[in-house]
Amino acid sequence: MSNQPQSLSEKEGHSQKGIDERCIEALLAKDRLNHLGGFIQGLIHNINGPLHNMSMLVEVLVRSQGKLEKSAKESGLSVDPALDALLQKQGRRLEQLSQQIKTLTDMLRSFMLLHEIERNESEVDVNLVLTKLAETFRSDLFFKHQVTLELRLTKNLPLVRVLGRHLLPALVHLFKNAVTAMRQSPEKRLVLESALEEDGIRIAFRDTGCGIASEEARRRCFDLFYSHWAQLPEIPSTDECYLGFGLFAVRRLLEPYGVRVALESVDGETTALLHIPFSCSR
């Protein structure tokens, strides 16, 4: 077997082949998610109507339950204690059911609103998007039960001229990165901030996750197919493969608008920063 060193063209060929393979892997993963996303959108559309009807029916039942309890008290007749306890217990169950339906309805509305923002080409309310994203991410059990979320959103921010189909995926990537980073952290706290600055709007995702210690690693996180998670044994294996696409996509989607994207790690916290200039336009 020949031990001659590879020529430059051979090395470039192997490198290109590796990139091609990763591109195919990424496309297949995104294609799978695209099909599932299409089914989910149809499912939500079909659920919305029956859920609305259920909400109205439960509201009627709650009012009827209240009338029964009121009538029992005002009748002046002796009420069997067991029946009275049953009425009260039934009332509490109906209230719980009503609250659960409201929670589910609110989640669906948030998802549908985000979908509309992504489809429209109008100016975007950053605070609205961040709030609805936070509500939608509560469908993730880890985020819902283990992560403490704090919203620090400056009121009355101007609308930004960034298309929803570019801004929304970028914010989702940043949100997912923050949640992934905290999976094995003793403290799991995520702070979302929006603030008005002299020349634009600043958005920050600050998490108490595993962090990115070196400047070189933070810089490489924006490279295509570089995954910081793949280098960390403390990040558990999940059904999701880390393609090294998220931060690359964030920068690629937003830089044409003049948006600056950066990562900082200070005192055990990592912050993903977006600076959206007032003059941003495509």
DSSP string of 227-278, one letter each residue:
-SGGG-TTS---SS---S-HHHHHHHHHGGGT-EEEEEEETTEEEEEEEEET
Same domain as 174, residue 47: no
Residue 257 has pLDDT above 90, yes or no: yes
Tokens of 138: 């509560």
Q: Is the pTM for the entire model greater than 0.75?
A: no
Same domain as 81, residue 104: yes
CA dihedral 235, 236, 241, 245 (to 10 degrees): -10
Query: What is the model's pLDDT at position 239?
Result: 46
Same domain as 252, residue 153: yes
Query: 263 in a domain, yes or no?
Result: yes
Pick the closest to residue 261 from 221, 216, 212 (CA basis): 221
Which CATH number do you get for residue 208? 3.30.565.10
Query: What is the model's pLDDT at position 63?
Result: 86
Query: 4 in a domain, yes or no?
Result: no
Same domain as 127, residue 265: yes
Query: Which among 57, 86, 113 is the end of a domain?
Result: 113
Query: 118 in a domain, yes or no?
Result: no
Same domain as 38, residue 170: no
First to last CA, the chain: 56
Query: What is the model's pLDDT at position 222?
Result: 85
Domain count of the chain?
Answer: 2
Per-residue confidence band for 281, with pLDDT thresholds at 50, 70 and 90:
very low
Cα–Cα distances (Å) from 88 to 63, 99, 176, in that order, read 13, 17, 43
Query: 1 in a domain, yes or no?
Result: no
Cα 249 from Cα 259, distance rounded (Å): 13
Structural domain range at position 246: 123-277
**Helices 81-119 and 126-136 meet at what angle, rounded to 10?**
130
Same domain as 224, residue 89: no
Mean pLDDT of the chain: 81
Query: Which among 113, 132, 164 is the end of a domain?
Result: 113
Q: What are phi and psi of 4, to 5 degrees?
A: -65, 140
Question: pLDDT tens for residues 19-72?
Answer: 667 676 766 666 555 655 666 667 777 777 888 888 888 888 888 888 877 877
Cα 148 from Cα 190, distance rounded (Å): 6
Query: 258 in a domain, yes or no?
Result: yes
Query: Which among 58, 80, 113 is the end of a domain?
Result: 113
Query: What is the model's pLDDT at position 16?
Result: 60
DSSP state of 124: B
Tokens of 52: 């609305």
Which of 13-17, 30-34, 162-166, 196-200 is predicted with the least confidence, judged by mean pLDDT? 13-17
Same domain as 22, residue 144: no
Query: 198 in a domain, yes or no?
Result: yes
Query: 2 in a domain, yes or no?
Result: no
More confident residue, 65 or 162: 162
Same domain as 135, residue 187: yes
Same domain as 263, residue 202: yes
Same domain as 142, residue 78: no
Cα 246 from Cα 175, distance rounded (Å): 10
Query: 216 in a domain, yes or no?
Result: yes
Same domain as 187, residue 77: no
Tokens of 254: 């937003």
Same domain as 273, residue 174: yes
**For the residues 151-156, what does the mean pLDDT come to?**
95
